[in-house]
Amino acid sequence: MPSHTEAQKKLAALKAGYVNRPRPGITVAFDLAEAALLKAMDATDTLTARDLTKRMLKAVIDGGFMIMHRDEMQDALLMTAQIKTIIDPQRQP
């Protein structure tokens, strides 16, 4: 296990890599979904609501956005907390 100071330096370097990174706004995702919707509306084939939704979600995902379920987000947060306790066990109550 790394020393406390070493762990802090590694975490600081990791955080520095994420600070000030450009992140597209959520409006970009909506624009992609809207474009897919408009394209589907112009199509001559008939689409079910499910097919239309799939096309819109695919456009958003292909645009680089990740769609996570609430449970997946919760698991990610819990894992992050567990990593903290492993890296910095001295601060546990």
Total tally of structural domains belonging to the chain: 1
The residue written with tokens 């624009």 in the block is 31
Cα 81 to its chain centre, rounded Å, is 18
pLDDT (tens place) for every residue of the chain, 93 residues total: 556 677 777 777 777 776 676 666 778 888 999 999 988 888 888 888 899 999 999 999 999 888 888 888 888 888 888 877 777 766 655
Type of residue numbered 93:
P
Q: Would you state the pLDDT for residue 29?
A: 87
User: pTM of the entire structure?
Assistant: 0.54
Q: Would you state the pLDDT for residue 56?
A: 92
Question: Does residue 49 lie within any of the structural domains?
Answer: yes
In this structure, what DSSP letter does residue 20 have? T
Question: Does residue 1 lie within any of the structural domains?
Answer: no
Q: Would you state the pLDDT for residue 5?
A: 79
Question: Does residue 48 lie within any of the structural domains?
Answer: yes
Type of residue numbered 35:
A
Residues in contact with 11: Cβ distance below 8 Å, sequence separation at least 6, in sequence order: 87
For the chain, the farthest-separated pair of C-alpha atoms sits apart, in whole angstroms, at 64
What are the structure tokens assigned to 73, written together?
A: 């987000």
| Overall residue count recorded for the chain in this entry | 93
User: Is the dihedral angle over the CA atoms 16, 21, 25, 30 positive or is it negative?
Assistant: negative
What domain range is 87 assigned to? Answer: 24-91
